[in-house]
Structure 1
């Protein structure tokens, strides 16, 4: 570092010692803080000098020139990472710099749940603590365009997982990570798919996986649930799955699926229309993707809930009707 910087650092601490010894003492001594804990968000591209000034403005009681001189003298000034940091009483100048170089940030977490639709995902984004809200006034279409996927329907395109983020990060940044991860998981699952599937593309696999996600009550049944829908597609039988009908009703659905709903045609009504719906209906997890592309070997075409989360599977309508009478009607 330049002589003037070293002179600033030495001169600032010379009152408590001499020369290099004084500098060493200052680096090991706890910084004086205005309060027990101080938080600071460092934006990408912030110069080290401004970082030093920002810490002092936030409540570190020292001359910002001393901090900046130390950043430069250490040779790590350019290694300071953007992010949100928190320091507490007892932290030394050396520890402060080490924290920023390591990227030891204060992180929040956002959990995206398997089976959520995009409306639920947006609500979770809006409620996430310390997340910079930039998409609140954007349409779904605008969000997808901002993510570099213009024209792509958002439903099912985000991978359900727990995402850690630093304070003040843009919600679009988190969405971009979730979108990229779903694309990665989908491409990997599709490339390793089983043989003989009635699916023409990875997008069709994603649509079917979203249905499997919504229809699976017990994890152990997931492969058989996938088999039922794969078998139906193979023989040209309508999928006849309630979650797609409910999705088609949108926000108007009151929680009570009626016969009239099953008879009312929409693009998502798999009772009135054959094949797959036009888009996914939810975010499928990795297990649903894998089950869809590697269904359990089975000839089953029907299943009904036993009332305990598991399902009874049947190969023909007569057996299915008996299962319905037993588990749904108590006969």
Structure 2
């Protein structure tokens, strides 16, 4: 009995080795032999088991390394495609035909081993009782491999077996593991990059914080030496102390905005700083710059235009005093510096710039362009376009730039009263309304302006001459309230005694009250008016006879006496 078991185990080992180390008959010199079917006789066996036909095979246990070596070193076997081993199919086999048992291999000599040998060889003892004393457990059924092997067409070589499903699964797991490893590596790189960015930001923030801390400990940078020439800086409407400090630093007045700001917050006078232009010495200490900003004498480019003022100077007949015109007032406000360093724009330069035919460069508004082009005397073409009021301009600009800045601001002021929509009330263009308002400004007291505006509208509707003494005085170098017969007889585009209608330009800069009165005149039939005393009492009437009586009353008060004589 033991000899039979020994021979059976020997045959089992040989079959196992054959399956583990497959060979081609051609490689071993058996090319001339006909290929045998799987499970055929063992030629090496000479005992009474030689006639045994085996139709089973125990599947050997392979490792990935053995499987790779088998398929890579045997030149007779087909190659597995690189990159996609799961797509390779062995010729002659189809997925799912058979399934390998995962039962572990038993140790030689054990009962389970004997049972496997018996099952592998399909051996049945003539004397079943011979194994009864072994007390073997019942054998489990084993799925068997197909008996025949596919061969290459037209050749006698065995076709290699398809790699096991376990190898494919391990290959897929290996690729998935590689992808996961690459993903982990990429994530680590990203984390390192993000960490580096955060580190740089932290270092930068720390450096900036240290710089600010050192700056606070040492105080803001400030000039120590003597100040330099004056620099013009502008304080915008609504500027805070910090914004003014930054402007000072940008202009080179102070070494840093902090130096000015620290001095400004300690000076209560900063709350009274007005928007405008200031001449402040350059390279000043912060405290000195604040003090200079608060001094009224350092305010530059600020001009106040009285109501009824005209562009050029004139002389009062009664007092002999010079009535300064708008151009001279602008020139005086343009001066920057002191003594030898003082720089100003002259009235003559402004007059020359104001006579230019380039009206767009002068900032003339579109609603006045056509009328201004028709003015015969270009030196008077800008009359009335610079409004009465307080204005700021940059004194460092050219005369043309200064006029443009003032005319633009004045046009905006005029338009804010509804000038562009006033033609429905007085049947006049915006420029004609401005011209008529200049007459109202020169002829009436504030409480009578709307009535005088109505007289102008009524007379123009009747095609009557206006006959205003203010229009006679406009072209005269020496002016007064009363006029002479000779002055009234002069014919020019402004004398309303010599023509019907309005003057060719305004005769002064009207106030907004006069402009509003002309835009909305008081309803009434009046055609005449005259001031009858030096207190400004004005009489209005639509009767010429009554008007003559009022004129006599004015003459008796002496208000109509001329200093020039008749």
Please confirm whether the aligned pair reaches a TM-score higher than 0.5, indicating the same fold: yes
Distance in structure 1 (CA, Å) of the matches to 2:211 and 2:489: 87
CA distance in 2, matches of 1:203, 1:182: 13
The one of 312, 321, 324 equivalent to 2:548 is 321
Return the alpha-carbon distance in structure 1 between the equivalents of residues 393 and 408 of structure 2: 16
Deviation by residue 1:272-293 (Cα, 9 ceiling, x = unmatched):
2101111111111111111011
SS at match of 1:110: strand
The superposition leaves residues 114-170 of structure 1 with CA deviations (integer Å, 9 ceiling, x where unpaired) of 111111111112222525527743623228644144864211111111113466455
**Residue 287 of structure 1: which of 497, 509, 513 is its match?**
513
Whole-Å Cα distance in 2 between the matches of residues 122 and 166 of structure 1? 15
Equivalent pair of 1:244/1:269 in contact (CA under 8 Å): yes
Is the partner of 1:248 in helix, strand or coil?
Answer: coil
1:274 aligned residue: 500
Worse-superposed segment, 136-145 or 115-124: 136-145
- For residues 452 and 387 of structure 2, the distance between their equivalents in structure 1, rounded to whole angstroms, comes to 21
Q: 1:87 and 1:310 mapped to 2: Cα distance?
A: 55
> Which residue of structure 2 lines up, in the alignment, with residue 15 of structure 1?
none
Counterpart of 2:218?
Answer: 26
Per-residue Cα deviation, 1:209-241 (whole angstroms, up to 9, x for no partner): 11111111x211111111111111111110000
User: How far does the alpha carbon of each residue in 1:175-196 deviate from its partner, in whole angstroms, 9 at most, with x for none?
Assistant: 2232113323444422342745
- The residue that corresponds to 1:265 in the other structure is 491
Taking the aligned partners of 1:176 and 1:142, their CA distance within structure 2 comes to 12
Match of 2:339 in 1: none
Q: Give 1:3's aligned residue.
A: none
Equivalent residues of 2:303, 2:333 under 8 A apart: yes
Q: Is the 8 A contact 1:213 1:288 kept in 2?
A: yes
SS in 1 for 2:286: coil
Structure-2 residue corresponding to 1:91: 286
Contact 1:114–1:283 at 8 Å: present in 2 too?
A: yes
Match 1:124 to one of 308, 313, 329: 329
Looking at structure 1, the residues matched to 403 and 279 of structure 2 have their Cα atoms a distance apart, in angstroms, of 19
Aligned to 2:420: 191
Pair 1:114-2:307 in alignment: yes
Match of 1:298 in 2: 524
**Distance in 2 between the 1:52 and 1:278 partners?**
47
Asked whether the 8 Å contact 2:532–2:557 carries over to 1, the reply is: no
More helix by share: 1
- Confirm or deny: 8 A CA contact 1:135 1:143 kept in the other structure: no
After superposition, the Cα gap between the structure-2 partners of 1:265 and 1:42, relative to the gap in structure 1 and judged at 3 Å, is closer
Q: Does 1:141 align with 2:355?
A: yes
Q: Is the 8 A contact 1:228 1:302 kept in 2?
A: yes
Q: Provide the C-alpha distance between the structure 2 equivalents of 1:42 and 1:89, rounded to a whole number of angstroms.
A: 13
Structure with more contact order per residue of length (Cα contacts < 8 Å, sep ≥ 6): 1
Report how many residues are paired: 282
Q: CA separation in 2, counterparts of 1:187 and 1:223? A: 19
| Contact map agreement 2:423 2:430 (CA 8 A) in 1 | no
Q: Using the alignment, how far apart are the partners of 2:257 and 2:549 within structure 1?
A: 78
SS at match of 1:142: coil
- Residues 174 and 161 of structure 1: CA distance in aligned 2, closer, same or farther (over 3 Å): farther
1:298/1:127 CA distance change after superposition, 3 Å: same
Please point out which of 420, 433, 458 is paired with 1:231: 458
Q: CA 1:54/1:237 → structure 2, altered by over 3 Å: closer, same or farther? A: same
Aligned 8 A contact 2:230 2:279 in 1: yes
Distance 1:310 1:178, change over 3 A: farther
Cα distance in 1 between the residues matched to 2:213 and 2:348? 54
Q: How does 1:45-60 map to 2 (within 5 A)?
A: 54-55=252-253
C-alpha separation in 2, matches of 1:267 and 1:285: 23
RMSD, aligned CA: 4.3
Secondary structure at 2:426 match in 1: coil
In 1, distance between residues paired with 2:334 and 2:517? 34
Give the Cα separation in 1 of the matches to 2:331 and 2:540.
40
TM-score w.r.t. the length of structure 2 is: 0.43
